[in-house]
Amino acid sequence: MLQGKHILVGISGGIAAYKIPELIRSLVKAGAEVKVTTTKNALQFVTELTLQTVSGSRVYSDVFAAINEHSTEHISLPDWCDAMIVAPATANVVAKMAAGIADDALTTTICSCTARKPIVVAPAMNDKMWESPATQKAIETIRSWENVRVIEPAEGVLACGVVGKGRLPELEQLQEALEYALTPKTMAGKRVLITAGGTQEKIDPVRFISNYSTGKMGVALAHACARRGAQVTLVCGSICVPVYNPFGQLTRIDALSAQEMYEACVTAWSQQDSAILCAAVADFAPEQVADNKIKKEGFRIQDSGFSLQLKETPDIAKTLGASKRKDQQLIGFALETEHEKENALHKMERKNLDAIVLNSLRDKGAGFGADTNIVTILQADGTVTALPLQSKALISEEILRVLFS
């Protein structure tokens, strides 16, 4: 998503500035070209040499420096960039933005950028400064500007040692916010239900039946839909990846068991335009859940082994397919180990799906736990789209391009 993009990183003088070189490294790793502008106070927390080294470009920190590439650097940088992020944005810089004050390298650049390019602003400061009426008024002002997106600061231990709201959000959240700012809002106004992860079917308080799903594919799809402006309802089973929601596009519902996931999906379905059922839902669950840990003797059948009575879990896809309206789109996933295409086509027909995304455990680099996938998109109209091995983030982009363009 950031490959080939020009990203301008603006750093002001807060303690969180020390984290920004790692953000720059991540942006460069994602394929972006990065340039940096700072206030002079920011360089008390992170050195110009460090920023130049990780970005590969000269740092713009002084309006009147003789080494500037252009005499009007604060104009040329906004012309060059595709998007800008200000992180950390101190109370001082937020106030200057709101008032249109441009008196140093960073604020002159921001002033030149706000009407032309997307800007992500990540405030970070002490909780008392964040709660100041002046700061809140300034935040309200810049939030009203069309090109500006403000990320709420995180809660946690602040530099002064107290716990409060004012921390810089995680760097991954900042990168997700940049990707959001750069993505055309082709799904604006759409509501999408997505399931992710595996379910856990309890045997007793310490044991459960589950599978190897990590939720990587489903969460990648949720992020991709949110970046396009959709309102996403993400129903999560057991997942091992973070869910980012920088601008409130995503509502997360945790549903560990198949029954819980079924109830959450059925409740939400009537309000959705589409559903993408990516979760690995258990087909069976224990008939009864013990209140206490079952000892070995509780499973034993005389001397011949152990037994666990199972029952079928509710079929989410089939239930949603049966109640699907003509204006709704229902997409399923199939992970197969043999007769892949035949089984997937049968599942699509049986459950009244509009499309099914098929992958196979026999394909190296595909399936549970991997960061990559190989999938084939089968549509009810007979269209078949095979996607090669690539990251699940890119696979999710391709799925949306094929099914939602």
Identify the three-state secondary structure at position 101. Answer: coil
Reported residue count of the chain is: 405
Instruction: Answer yes or no: 81 catalytic.
Output: no
Work out the number of other CB atoms within 10 angstroms of the CB of residue 5: 18
Cβ neighbours of residue 329 closer than 8 Å, sequence gap 6 or more? 273, 274, 275, 354, 355, 403
Phi-psi region of 369 (alpha: psi -120 to 50; beta: other; left: phi over 0): left
Task: Determine the Cα–Cα distance for residues 12 and 20; give it in Å rounded to an integer.
Answer: 10
Which of 81, 111, 113, 160 is an active site residue?
160
Q: Is the peptide bond before 88 cis (omega within 30 degrees of 0)?
A: yes
Burial letters 167-196, b for 16+ CB under 10 A, else e:
bbbebebbbbbbbbbbbeeebeebbbbbbb
Query: For residue 397, which of 191, 228, 190 has the smallest C-alpha distance?
Result: 228
Query: For residue 81, which of 110, 51, 105, 52 has the smallest C-alpha distance?
Result: 110
Task: Determine the Cα–Cα distance for residues 277 and 199; give it in Å rounded to an integer.
Answer: 13
Amino acid at 362: R
CA distances from 5 to 29, 84, 137, 178, 225 (A): 12, 11, 32, 11, 20
Strand partners, 7: 34, 83
Q: Alpha helix (H) ranges present in 8-126?
A: 20-29, 48-55, 73-80, 91-99, 105-113
As annotated, the active-site residues are 160
